[in-house]
Amino acid sequence: MFFTDYRFLETIFTQIFLASFMMPESILNSIYQLPEDSKNLLLNGISEVQHAKGVILLKADKVEQDIYFIKKGIVRAFATNDDTDITFWFGTEGETVLSMKSYVENAKGYENIELLEDCILYKLNARYLQQLFLEDIHIANWGRKFAEQELVKTEERLISRQFRNAKERYMDLLAGNPDLLQRVQLGHIASYLGITQVSLSRIRSEIR
C-alpha cells in the first residue's frame, strides 16, 4: 500500500485513538484505576444520552447532581451576574461534567453547563453514585481522586492569574489546548482567561 498524503494516516490513527479513549471504562480509569467489580457497578448506572448544541445541560437555579462524561463534544461551565456571564471551565472528550457546588453541598449552585457542540454524553445518576460512595471503597477513592485533581487544576489557574499577564495566559492556553481555539468562540475564551473579548482581540493582533 502506498500513501502520498500521510495526514490521511494521521487522521485514521487519531480517530482510532479517540474512539478507544472515549469508552466509559477508559474515562473512569483515567481518573483512578478501578477494580473490575467496582467499575461494573459504576457502568451499571451509566446511560448514553445525546443533546444538541446550545442545550443547557445543568442549570444554576436547580439542584443538579447527576454527573456526565463526555463521549463526544465540548461544553462550557459559566456563571452569570446581571447581564454578563463568565466561562470558568471547558470540558471536552473524556472529561467529567457536574455542578460541583450542587453536587458537594446539595444546594443550588452557581454553574450552568452549556453544550457548545452537539454532544454524546454518558449520564450517571447522582443518587446512585452517592450510594456507591458509601458502599464501595474503591469508588469512594475514585471520587476523592477526581476532586483532588480538579482542585489542583483550579488552584493552578488561580495562581497563574497572578503571575502571568493576559497575553501569557493566552499563549499558555494556545500551547496546551490548541484545539480549543478552533472549537470555541473567542468571547468564551476571553472570559475563561479573565479578560474582555476586546482585550483578547488586541492580544491576538499583537501576536501575528
Partner DNA sequence: GACTATTTTTTACAAATGATAAAAACTACC
Partner DNA sequence: GGTAGTTTTTATCATTTGTAAAAAATAGTC
* Interface residue list for its own copies (CB under 8 A): 79, 81, 84, 86, 88, 100-101, 103-105, 110, 133-137, 140-141, 143-145, 147-152, 154-159, 161-163, 191, 194
Instruction: Return phi, psi of residue 72, to 5°.
Output: -150, 130
Say which entry of its own copies, DNA, none residue 92 contacts (CB below 5 to 8 A, set by partner kind).
none
Closest to DNA by CB, 106 or 165: 165
Report the nearest approach of DNA to the CB of residue 195 (Å). 4
Say which entry of its own copies, DNA, none residue 167 contacts (CB below 5 to 8 A, set by partner kind).
DNA
Closest to DNA by CB, 33 or 165: 165
Closest to DNA by CB, 105 or 168: 168
Closest to DNA by CB, 3 or 163: 163
Environment class of 198 (CB within 10 Å of its CB; exposed 0-12, middle 13-18, buried 19+):
exposed
Q: What are the contacts of 27-31 at 24+ separation with CB within 8 A?
A: 27/69, 27/94, 27/96, 27/122, 28/69, 28/142, 30/94, 31/96, 31/142, 31/145, 31/146, 31/149
Say which entry of its own copies, DNA, none residue 130 contacts (CB below 5 to 8 A, set by partner kind).
none
Q: Which residue reads 488586541 in cell numbers?
A: 202
The set of residues, in sequence order, having a beta carbon less than 8 Å from that of 65 and lying 6+ positions away, is 98, 99, 102, 103, 106, 126, 127, 130
Which residues contribute to the site for DNA (CB under 7 A)? 165-167, 185-187, 194-202, 204-205
